[in-house]
Amino acid sequence: MPNRHFVISLGLLLFGVFTQAQQKFTLSGTISEANSNETLIGVTIAFPDINTGVTTNEYGFYSITLPQGEYNVVVSYLGFQDIRETINLDSNTKRDFSLLEEAEELEEVVVTDDVERLDIRKPQMSVNTMAVQTIKQIPVVLGESDVIKSLLLLPGVSNAGEASSGFNVRGGAADQNLILLDEATVFNSSHLFGFFSVFNPDAIKDVKLFKGGIPARYGGRVSSVLEIFQKEGNSKDFKVNGGIGAVASRLLLEGPILKDRTAFLIGGRASYAHLFLPLFDVDNKAYFYDLNTKINHKINDRNSIFLSGYFGRDLFSISDRFVNTYGNAVGNFRWNHLFSDRLFSNLSVIYSDYFYGLELDFVGFEWNSGIQNFNLKYDLKHYINDKLQINYGLNNTYYVFNPGRIQPNSPDSGILEEQLTKKYANENAVYIDIEHQISENLSVEYGLRASQFNRLGQDEFYVYENDNPVEFDPFTLVYREATPIDTINPGRGGTLKKFFNLEPRISASYNFKGQSSIKASYTRLAQYLHLLSNTSSPTPLDVWTPSGPFVKPQLLDQYALGYFRNIKGGDYSFETEGFYKDIANRIDYIDGANLIANNAIERIILNGQARAYGLEFLIRKNEGRLTGWLAYTWSKSEQKTPGRNLGIDTGRSDLETGINQGEWYSTPYDKRHDLSIYGSYNLNKKWSFNANFIFQTGQPTNYPVGQFEFEGLTVPYYGLRNKERLPDYHRLDVSAILTPKRNQRKKVQSEWVFSIYNLYSRKNAASINFRENEDTGRNEAIRTSIFGIIPAITYNFRF
């Protein structure tokens, strides 16, 4: 009997020891900047002894669960001093960290932020993150720091040329990019038709671009996701910073309302070049202004709320006879809640509006259009342990599309008021996304998004014979608009069409000794909105329209494979990726399509397909006085719209030619070669120098291949679509930044930025037009260029 008791006691003791050895606890908290309480995104919390770690999320929160024990912890974020501590993890522990900025002497040597480096071990690929400090250093036109223009220096990112709005990612169209500002959708990212972006760099905290391997929490666009977060505001001290430039100025104020608990931020920008035009007897105007606002309040350790907004407007007028006004307005209320030290949640209520207005005084009418959406989303992140994290959530978005309202601008204009039929839709989705470190070398991220789109009823809906809004004439081989045979009123309570799609995502990384890795990803995405535009870059006049009975949603399958390597301990890095994209239901337009004030756009649209593939290379120098990168992309972007098989026994359905004879043709944003070089050199504490060089293959276009005479007029005719190209595009930009020695008795810190855009004054072609020379009677080509060499000076300050 004693022996049995001894065995039981020994067994209980061993079980207790085993249980204690296996017991795990959670270390969690928030990491912020010590001088402002601004939370920091992407801070690394490393445990070097066990080769594991975690990074902070979009709200500066982290959580990691480890076996009981004593651990050395290193908290690091370049530009800030490391924190090294020993933590005895014998219970669930909340530990917040406040990071101090490095001494100014060190900032002069190292300027590139860790945030721009891709983590070798993580499965995340096809992602570029750009530090705000880098954005402010890159030389741009007229000296105004620009988020979008800075992204164009990255591999796989381009645009349609100078003064063009939007951007193109991996051969995709500008409307295929989801642009988020504090989670709210921005439908037009440009001021003054593409000269500037709508994002004030002083108000921005984080910029991240997903080109592929897009996590399941994102959806609604098939090309990329650009996620931008605004600063939260300084909850310790009142701060002011701003700048005075050649054509625009900016000012940002931030400070505490309740110290360490409640903070505000308000920032504004405005251009003023138009104020000088009357001096030259010019009666035209072109200006923009925008406003960024934010308030955040920490209720307690488990709850925080945020209220943020953006409002921007552009105005362009010609002698008050032509007035164009457009802009974005967004608002977002967010509530962060910690259910436990391992379960983080965020609830967002979001409003987004894009407005476009046009007044033609010489005609006598005003025209307004736009799109609104109301979005409710709930996201949760569950930190299971140091090897497994689960993200899941849902969202619902309600859309109102206003294709146009025409009304007289005076009682005697003779114009009748007309409202084009408004369209309504509802999009909802649920998702789950899992980050899983399977072994020391293998990590995967896999998820699934289920999306549903309901095209809701409207006041007036056209019905066509055989449900075919576009007819094909087999004799002239021309597509033309069909005539409606009936008009019905479904009412907003009904549903015209439903779409449902499953969107799986998976990314994997296998690393070799922590210095190099191979990554692969597959992404499936659905896009239910379409931008109606027949230009190579978006314009304010373009109109958004939803999928429905005659317009199918775009569906993307993207595959990517890449190799990544850190060289000399991370002083240098090398990345290369190959990608292939296949998009179903990409719309195109019949010849002669009229997109303006069209109440039945289904009569000018044909559904086709698109594809893009290419190779990207990125070499970075991350450390030292000289930093920068070289990015090169070889890619091809094509579209195909074959003749339809309508299933109608006409005896001639096989003669439908499609667009471009049903053959593949280059998209307007196909850039075969794209080379970008950026460098930044810190000479000393006072002077730093920056330069970037860009080379791109010319944009696809159409030139006349012949002409004919008709009733005394010479009429050109064109060959296959996008068969020709504009001349190659290239330019060199430089800048010098002078930081005067700081007077310790004064709080004001300042800097002067001297920049030259297009240093060798390359006359890059925005377009080439043809005309008949009045003297010789011969046809001649006329190149239109926008910019030559442009010097600029900007004065920045803060206190």
Tens-place pLDDT, residues 649-700: 444 445 688 888 888 999 988 999 999 999 999 998 899 999 999 999 999 9
Tens-place pLDDT, residues 729-746: 999 999 999 998 876 677
Beta carbons within 8 Å of 565's beta carbon, 6+ residues apart: 120, 515, 516, 517, 573, 574, 575
Tens-place pLDDT, residues 200-243: 999 999 999 999 999 999 999 999 999 999 999 999 999 999 99
pLDDT score for 117: 52
Is residue 657 classed exposed, middle or buried when 0-12, 13-18 and 19+ CB atoms within 10 A define those classes?
middle
Beta carbons within 8 Å of 709's beta carbon, 6+ residues apart: 715
Is residue 685 classed exposed, middle or buried when 0-12, 13-18 and 19+ CB atoms within 10 A define those classes?
middle
Are 433 and 391 in contact by the 8 Å Cβ rule? The answer is: yes
Q: Give the DSSP letter of residue 513.
A: T
Tens-place pLDDT, residues 417-460: 888 899 999 999 999 999 999 998 999 999 999 999 999 999 88
**Mean pLDDT value of segment 616-625:** 92
Q: Are strands 24-33 and 262-271 parallel, antiparallel or unpaired?
A: unpaired
pLDDT score for 290: 95
pLDDT score for 223: 95
Could you tell me if residue 341 is left (phi over 0), alpha (psi between -120 and 50 degrees) or otherwise beta? alpha
* Residues linked to residue 566 through DSSP beta bridges, in sequence order: 573
| Max intra-chain CA distance, the chain | 123
**Phi then psi dihedrals of residue 132, to 5 deg:** -60, -35
Whole-angstrom distance, CA of residue 631 vs CA of residue 147: 17
